[in-house]
Copies of this chain bind each other. A is one copy, B any other.
Amino acid sequence: MKTGFVFDLDGTLIDSVYQHVIAWSEALTSEGLSLPISKIHRKIGMSSELFEKQLFKELGGVSAETMTRVKERQAEVFSRQEPQIQPLPGASALLEALNEAGIPWAIATSGSPEATASNLRKLGVDSAKAKVLTGSDVSQGKPEPDVFLASAERLGVPIERVYVVGDSTWDLLGARRCHALGLGLKSGGVGEEELQRAGAIRVYEDPADLLDHLDELATHPK
């Protein structure tokens, strides 16, 4: 049975969730706004449009100008931390193992094309060869399943046989909505039970742990 993998990027292959969280928190504080940081954390992984919509809904009636300044400040704070961001353990090895086994994979991220390009360089992924879909490739981002469906099509694997690998509940909700097979990784800071409850059929520590258990999920087709 042919299978394929669709990976989220931030928190799943790259250790960048906490930097995104802190950058949003600092940006809000700089405008005299505040939201408990754990609530920002649990929104990471949604499409940027939905994230901002939810954030500002919870803040209650913030002006468009303030919203723009918060977003600019977030990007500024994040870019200061960006050079320190590293791949998660086993991320590159996992992608390489899939290549060697002839199991197709793609990356489906809510990140911008620029941030994605930088993350792919850190992973040593050749962006000319790899199948990478960002938020700008589909009209509706996560937890809408469009980006997973488009990835499955690129892989040539029916969505029901695709593993969607993610660290956020939004990846897993999206996977459920299109009947893909959700796999959770704890590396984004969301715990095992929370990922299971969001729909993960299996939960692993990080990419290295998933690589250790690859044989449980996919038989090498060659």
Contacts and interface: CB of A to CB of B under 8 A. Distances in A.
A112 interface: no
A188 B18 contact: no
A36 interface: yes
A174 B37 CA distance: 25
A146 interface: no
A60 B197 CA distance: 34
A65 B20 CA distance: 31
Contacts of A193: 191, 193-194, 197
Interface of A is mostly: helix
A94 B206 CA distance: 38
Interface string A79-114: 001001010110000000000000000000000000
Nearest to A18: B37
Of A38, A81, A188, A194, most B-chain CB atoms within 10 Å: A38
- How many chain copies does the complex carry? 2
Interface residues of A, number: 30
A168 interface: no
A21 interface: yes
Given A191-B191, A193-B193, A193-B194, A86 B15 contact: no
A189 B29 contact: no
A187 interface: yes
Contact of A22 (B22, B188, B191, B192): B22
A37 B188 CA distance: 8
Contacts of A197: 193
Contact of A194 (B187, B188, B194, B206): B194
Contacts of A189: 37-38, 41, 189
Which 8 residue pairs are nearest across A and B when measured between Cβ atoms? A193-B193, A191-B194, A38-B189, A18-B37, A191-B191, A29-B84, A22-B22, A38-B187
